[in-house]
Structure formats: C-alpha cells, structure tokens
Chain A
Amino acid sequence: MEDPKNNDGKPCPCAGDAAESGNKASRRDFLLKLGVGLNVVAGGLVAVPILGYALNSFAEKPDLQWIDLGPIDQFGEKTTRLAVYDNPLKRSWDGATAEIPCYVRRTTGEDFTVFAINCTHLGCPVRWFEESRLFMCPCHGGAYYEDGSHASGPPPRGLYTYEHKIATGRLLIKGGILPTLANPNV
C-alpha cells in the first residue's frame, strides 16, 4: 500500500503519526481541545473588563443632585429668560461644553417652569422670542408657546422640563442629562 502523500509529494506527517501510535494522536487531540477550551474561558474573562469598560455608560444611571440657579429675584415675574448652569457631572477638561443652558419661566410668585433648550423634534437649541412669546427652533421649524406647549411644526410634544424646587429663596433644578424622547424628564 502506498503512503498517504501531500500534494507536493512529501509524506503527510499527521498520517504518519497516526500510523505510528494512537497514544500520541489522542494526546494531540486532547491538547487541542484543552487549548480551545482554555481560550474560550480566557476570552470570556477578557470580555468582562472590556465590555464593562466600553458599555459602562450604557448601564450606569447618573445620580442627579439639585443644582442652584440662583436667587429667584433675578427672574422677573411674567418673564422667561435664559439661565446657564454647570453640569454637575462635569470633568475638568469639558471646557464650555459643561455650561448647560435652560429657559426659566416665572409667571407669578413662586410659580416657575424650567425648560430644556433642546427641541423635542431632533434636539436643536430653541430660541426664545420675547415679543411673540414663542420658542422657535432653527432646524426644522418647530415652535412652542411660552408655556412650552407645541405651537407648530414637527415636534411630537411640548418642551422638556426640569424638575425644580425653591429653597430659601433660591431656584434649584435637577439637571445634567440630555433630554430625549426616551428620557423626557431631565
């Protein structure tokens, strides 16, 4: 009988080995299986820190604190004005991206509404127009009334509002999250 050969005509080492001894072949086989098994375990172990690191912002729920917007006297009655707060979760290298704007509307006394600046359609910054008492979006033409309700255009709902409270004459809000339709209560 002819020896099994490779294409180039040299004897095939594996076939030779198998003929030589069944023991060695089964040891190779075992080592291969062990090697694959160990690497599956190692891969799993490597995946834990890598995925944990990369997906951390997917899983983490930010713990929001009250942010001081200043004494309520600076917001006149029957007015709406822009206020800027420092993102409570900011990093030192955030620069001006940590200065988050919002619109504070005071009707009378302690009746406040604090709107996010982001249009509910696709997130562009809405602009307040004192004279027509409208918020207008520069992207797709959304408009909102002064109470934040939808006035015209594509937005699916009124402006997002911040949770707020008044303590010792100061206006406090809970902020630091970009509001989206998935998370409308900033």
Chain B
Amino acid sequence: MSKSPHIPLQKQAMEAARGVFLWLDDRLKITNLWEHTGGHMIPKSSASWFYVFGSATLLCLILQLVTGTLLAFVYVPSGAEAYSTLEYLTYEQPLGWFLRGMHYWGSEFMVTIMFLHMTQVFLFGAYKYPREITWISGCLLMLITLGLAFTGQVMRFDSDAYWGLGIGAAIVGRVPFFGEQLVHLMLGGPIIASETLSRFFAIHVFILPGSILALVALHLRMVLTKGINEYPKPGHVVVKETYEKEYAAIIKKEGIPFAPHGIGKDLFAAAIVIGGILFFTAFFGPKGPSAPPFPAITDVVPRPDFFFMWIFAVAALMPDWMETFGLLAVPPVVILVLFALPFFNGTGEKHFSRRPVAVIVVLLVYTAFGVLTYLGITSPWSPEMRAWSADITPSSRVLGRSPLELQGLIVLQNKQCRNCHAIEDIGGKRGPDLADVGMRLTAPQLARQVIQGGGNMPAYGKNLSPYQVDALVAYLSSMVPPGRKPARDSTVPSYPAPETALRGSQ
C-alpha cells in the first residue's frame, strides 16, 4: 500500500501529543517555568569553559545522592555492624565495591570541583555587587560539603574513622568553659561508641544533605534573580548605581537562553566528570576500609582523607603556643572574612589582571594547600613505628667497625633510635639523619645529647647503662662519610699543631 494512510495517523498522533502537552502546560505552566529557569537569558560571554564548574559540582552532588542512597540499602550504622557491612559491600555484594568507589571518588571530585568553582568565582569578581547572597550561599555550601566529607569519612567506620573522631573530640575539648560538654554532645555520650556513629550517620544522610539541597535552591534562585556574572573585561568597573542597568543592556544586546544555547560546555564538562569518576573507580576502587575500628588495636597510624591532610599537617607544625588559638579561633575568622568579602570588596574591577591582591591570595592558598598536603602525606614529624625492627642498616655502616662500635649499633637499633633517626634516609625523619653525625658532633657532645636529650629529643640517661652509652657514642662517632673529617672540639688546638705545621713548611 501507499504511504498516504500513515501520514494522517502520524499527524493524529502528533496532534494528540500536542493536546496532552497543552493540557499539562495549562495546568502546570511548564513553558512559563522553563522560560524562567533552564531557558533564562545569560550573557553570551558567560557561556565559557570557565563557567562549567558550578554545574559540574551540582552534578557531583546528584551522583552522591544516588550512590549514597544505594549504599544505605546495605550499610548498618552500628558500632558492632558497620565494619562488617563495609566488608560485605566491598567484597560480597555484587557491584558494592563499585558503588562504594563511586561515592568515594564522587566526593573527591565534588570537593575539588567545588574549590575550582570558588576560585573561578573569586578571580572573575562574580561575588561583587549585586551577587552577595549568591556568594554567601556558596560559602555555606562549601562548609556543608566539607562537613559531608568529614562525616562521610566517619561512615567508613575503620580505625582511621575511629581515631579521626578522637582527633575531632580533642580539638573540641580545647574549647574553653564548655569543652567537656561539647565533646559529649559531639560523641553522643562520654566516649566514642555506637551512638557516635549513629549521630554522624544522621548528620551525613539527613541533616547535611537536606541543608545542602535547600541552599542549592537558594544559590540557583540567586543565579536566576541577579543573573550569572558576565565575563569580566579589564577596566570595566562595577558601580552600584549603574551596574544593574549595564547588565540588563548586556542581556538585551547579546543574551542567549542558557538552555539550549549556553549549556553545551556544561554538558561536555558533565560527561568528563562522570567519565572521571567511573575511571578512578574502575582503576583504583573504593578507599578502605583499613583496620577495624577497635580502640584496643594500637598498631595503627591514623591519617585523614586527602582534603583534611593539610589540617593534619598544620596541627603538627604550628608552634605549641598558638595551637588552641589556631585550631579554634582562626577557622571562624577565615569564614567570617569569606562571608564579608562582597561587602568590603563589592565594587570596582572584576578582571583578575587588575586585581593583583586577589591573584596573590589564590596563589598563596594553593601553594600552602599543596605544600601542607605533601607534608601531611609524608609526615616527616611522625616516628616510624617499625623502623627499629624492620629497617635495614646499609652494609657500609657495618663493615670494618670495631666490636664496641657494633655493640653501639645494636643499642641504636634496640632502643628504637631508628624510629626517629634515619641512616642514609632509611628510618624515621623526625630527627636528623645519623649517616654523618660523627662529622657534626664530637664524642662528648654525642654523649650529652643521648643522656640529656634536648632539641625535641627525649633524654635517654635513665634508660641506658654507661656501657651502652659508650658503645653508642663509639658507633655514632664512626659515622663520618669517606673523605670527610670527624667533628672536633673548637677549644682544643687544631692538628697538626702550629709548630708542626711550621716545621713542615721549612
């Protein structure tokens, strides 16, 4: 038969679909909603690769909600059960490992992209007039996201999570007057127990996600009411009296609807983010769980997740006198400054080429974050707990030594000196490397240092017999690299003695 009978049928179907849509649109006002949301007008210049980080962060949030809900199908937030359900999820539940991995890598992506978004917003002056609330709601979203990252680390209820709670409690315990009560409030009781985990679970899956959704709504609402920031131009300053008129003129002159004309780069970025999360999950899998969360297992080295490593490093490196102040007073001050930023810096230049202070701040923050994270990962200030029993001694440090010196080496090894002192880079990094210590300290200085300690070294006087000290000092004095001279006392005349030298020259 010919095609002709089909065409009216298709047309009929189209008409029917159109009728249904019009009916729905009349009731729900979909077209109107679309024009004011997805289809809102944005400056053409804002459809830029630099503007994709916000939507990419939102995408990560949606993925986290999906994977998190699915993990909650299996996970049991109880002190007795959480660890076994994590193991079940990781090793037995079909694709459980993949969902755990997606949730873990999703969180890493979300925090990373969120900070890229924040950096871009800061460098492009998007926080300036009239977008103060957009910025402040974004700062709150950042705090909640970090809260989700911290509480999520507790959900992975292993030894890192357990001692991470201990570190949190120790910080809260430094609060004056109410420290003890606040610790008990945080832990849901006087000690880390199941109620602590339940509490953090409720915060992680109800309180923070609920708050983040409400704030995302506010954040997006602000994007719609005050518009997305136009791509800044050097020399173009924000003046409160004229800005909104200028912005309206830009929209009128070169406005495009966000969807479909401005969304292409966001969609491309979204695909890359999803691909990235899938890639990292498939190749690296989920993180942990490490050792079970049993406090009685003392053979643990607690470390926070990547994004809190810099705080871990700061806690090790701050001078003692500023510790409580640094842990309790500095974060609120930094947060207040962030919140206040659009009010004390709300007008003027937006383009980063005219804002050297802003650029320096960003460079400093990123450098500090990078350096502190590196230090946190390597933790040179931590003793290596197994160095004394497991680390080897290079053969050049054994061969040709006298029996007394070899006894000293045994003392060095048995008294755990290696936990803090490396030999040729093998061992702990807390104290100086001993490979050339004989070049730096004389025998009496070595004996004094060992017996009395000092300079952040414990005193071993009570713990070593005089014979052990003798042997240890003999060994350490032999630690002089070939071709170098041993340390000598500057109050003793140098050798050869002057008269000898004189005779030699005659």
Contacts and interface: CB of A to CB of B under 8 A. Distances in A.
Contact of A101 (B166, B183, B296, B457): B296
Listed residue (A90, A95, A132, A156) with the most chain B CB atoms within 10 angstroms of its CB: A95
B194 A57 contact: no
Listed residue (B163, B189, B191) with the most chain A CB atoms within 10 angstroms of its CB: B191
Given A125-B300, A138-B301, A138-B382, A58 B79 contact: no
Interface stretch (A7-15, A72-80, A139-147, A163-171): A139-147
A90 B419 CA distance: 36
B382 A97 contact: no
B80 A94 contact: yes
A98 interface: yes
Contacts of B292: 96
A117 to B, nearest CB: 7
Given A58-B185, A93-B79, A124 B294 contact: no
Given A95-B81, A97-B79, A134-B458, A87 B385 contact: no
B415 interface: yes
A133 interface: yes
Contacts of A125: 163, 166, 295, 298, 300, 302
A181 B167 CA distance: 12
A125 B457 CA distance: 20
Contact of A141 (B163, B388, B430): B430
Contact of B453 (A90, A94, A137, A152): A152
B456 to A, nearest CB: 5
A124 B180 CA distance: 18
A156 B327 CA distance: 14
Nearest to A57: B184
Given A96-B294, A97-B194, A154-B316, A180 B173 contact: yes
A132 B501 CA distance: 47
A182 B172 CA distance: 9
Interface in B457-505: 457-460, 462-463
A91 interface: yes
A150 B424 CA distance: 29
B320 A156 contact: yes
Contacts of A134: 416, 458
A136 B385 contact: yes
B323 interface: yes
Interface string B179-211: 111111101111111110000000000000000
A177 B180 CA distance: 10
B458 A143 contact: yes
Interface in A80-106: 82, 84, 87, 89-91, 93-101
Given A57-B185, A140-B316, A182-B179, A62 B302 contact: no
Which DSSP category, helix, strand, loop or mixed, fits chain B's interface?
loop
A141 B187 contact: no
Contacts of A161: none
Listed residue (B83, B174, B296, B320) with the most chain A CB atoms within 10 angstroms of its CB: B296
A177 B169 CA distance: 12
A21 interface: no
A23 interface: no
Size category of the B interface is 35 or more
Nearest to A125: B298
A181 B298 contact: no
Size category of the A interface is 35 or more
B189 A136 contact: no
Contacts of B187: 57, 178
A84 B191 contact: no
B310 interface: no
A16 B186 CA distance: 56
Given A94-B194, A131-B415, A138-B302, A151 B166 contact: no
Given A117-B298, A127-B385, A91 B194 contact: yes
A125 B293 CA distance: 12
Interface string A118-137: 11011111111101111011
B78 interface: yes
Listed residue (A60, A82, A123, A183) with the most chain B CB atoms within 10 angstroms of its CB: A123
Contact of B167 (A55, A97, A139, A152): A139
Given A124-B302, A132-B416, A183-B180, A96 B172 contact: no
Contacts of A129: 416, 419
B54 interface: no
B175 interface: yes
Contact of A133 (B175, B296, B453, B463): B463
A176 interface: yes
Nearest to B176: A182
A145 B425 CA distance: 26
Given A91-B195, A181-B170, 10 more contacts: A99-B294, A132-B417, A132-B460, A133-B462, A138-B382, A139-B382, A180-B170, A180-B180, A182-B173, A183-B180
Interface of A: 55, 57-60, 62, 82, 84, 87, 89-91, 93-101, 117-119, 121-129, 131-134, 136-141, 143, 145, 151-154, 156, 176-178, 180-183
The 10 closest A-B pairs by CB, nearest first: A180-B173, A182-B179, A95-B80, A123-B170, A151-B458, A123-B166, A140-B316, A58-B185, A97-B79, A141-B381
Interface of B: 78-81, 83, 162-163, 166-167, 169-175, 179-185, 187-195, 292-296, 298-302, 312, 315-316, 318, 320, 323, 381-383, 385, 388, 414-417, 419-420, 430, 453, 456-460, 462-463
28 contacts: A57-B185, A58-B181, A87-B191, A90-B193, A93-B78, A93-B81, A95-B80, A97-B79, A97-B294, A97-B295, A117-B298, A121-B315, A122-B167, A122-B170, A123-B166, A125-B163, A129-B419, A132-B415, A136-B383, A138-B300, A138-B383, A138-B385, A139-B163, A177-B190, A178-B187, A180-B180, A180-B183, A182-B183
